[in-house]
Amino acid sequence: MKYKSQNSLIDGYDPKNLAKKYATPLYCYSFKKIKDNINNFKKSFSSIDNITCFSVKSNPNKILLKEIGKLGLGADVVSKGELMRAVKSGIKPKKIVFSGVGKTSEEINYAIEKNILLINAESKSEILEIERIAKIKKKEVDIGIRLNPNTDAKTLSQISTGKKEDKFGISEKKFLELAKYSINSKYLNLKCLSVHIGSQILNHKPYQRMLNVIEKILKEMKYQFQYIDLGGGMGINYDDKDKKLSFKEYNKSIKKFLRKKKSKIIFEPGRSIIGNSGILITKIIYIKEGFKKDFIILDAAMNDLMRPALYGAKHRILPVRKNKKKSKRIYEFVGPICESTDKFSTLKKFPILKENDLILICDVGAYGMSLSSNYNLRPKAAEIMIKNSKIKLINKRQNFKDFI
């Protein structure tokens, strides 16, 4: 996003014109940024034999998935719905990994029918259920087993997935037991050791500790896994204080880990591919004077962008039109929903605003629209994509008749 004179531009388009045509709140994605992020990711890990599976939960938009698939990525899915959408978007089944702790019999059945790359199992019960269904179908099913490496990702507790108290994966002892069982099963083909330690990780050191745990398991097992699934979790810079994750250092750690190993790496990035591609355009409905601060009441709310309310996550907030004059009052940017947590940020010395001004909430490409809801019976926002200087409506705004 750039400013020309006093006005902001999103890939060359004035947000005021976008808001006028499509109304607000409005999700706007830059195809160029998505493509640049994918190319940067590929280049950063080009020295490693890998499959990159985009995390569909981060943004399941059909058009975006289709574009991401065309750029060579597979898909990491966690439900039958995500699997169906990935396949419908043109992603080849042999580039799809099915993760998650609670796969139903129906979902397992569907994944086997689609002949996807892997089902990453997370418990003894799940492995037995996969085996039961495989036996009925008289098929050998390719699986991975997710290890919980008891590694602190140094991220928000709500998005930590690799510590022993987290619900994800299984302990080292249980992993060895279930791996032995799977290897000896007639209907299971153990192809992958899988891990995922968390999300929005900005330091490569937790990944190094994770790799050390995997190394220990491999030495004990003396078994050749075709794949090592390292998950995703690579963070992005939501504000200037965030340190950028070094792909270079992470790549170096993986290369060191892979010495004398023939395993192919699976990555499951989501946020690092699509996070910074999205901007939420929203309009100021009212400015309400409060105690020691002014409430900037937007037409976007926590049902449109849940992350700040759910995690206390921060997003950069910018005015569409620059104003050198700063407010002496503190601005608290809030939505109209009847929850005290329906707020996006509290800022000092922000450019002076007035009612009907447009505001940009940045870096909402991941876990923005995918976490949206109809809470307070509010319609979901429209989504557009800017590609090659052309605008495409990729998800129309909900009408009340769609859900009332």
| Amino acid making up residue 169 | G
DSSP annotation of 154: S
Closest CA to 223 of 180, 161, 163: 180
| Cβ pair 339, 249 in contact under 8 A | no
Residue 338 designated active-site: yes
Helix H or strand E segment including 383 = strand 382-387
| Cβ pair 93, 114 in contact under 8 A | yes
Alpha-carbon distance 313 to 308, whole Å?
4
| Cβ pair 283, 356 in contact under 8 A | yes
| Cβ pair 82, 60 in contact under 8 A | yes
Alpha-carbon distance 97 to 116, whole Å?
7
Alpha-carbon separation of residue 320 from 15, 73, 166, 391 (angstroms) = 7, 34, 41, 19
Alpha-carbon distance 396 to 384, whole Å?
8
Cis bond leading into 25, ω under 30°?
yes
Alpha-carbon distance 231 to 93, whole Å?
18
Residue 60, SS3? coil
Task: Tell me how long the chain is.
Answer: 404
Counts for the chain of helices (H) and strands (E), in that order: 11, 19
Would you put residue 126 in left (φ > 0), alpha (ψ -120 to 50) or beta?
A: alpha
| Cβ pair 332, 350 in contact under 8 A | no
Residue among 28, 53, 338, 362 flagged as catalytic: 338
Question: Mind telling me the catalytic residues?
Answer: 338
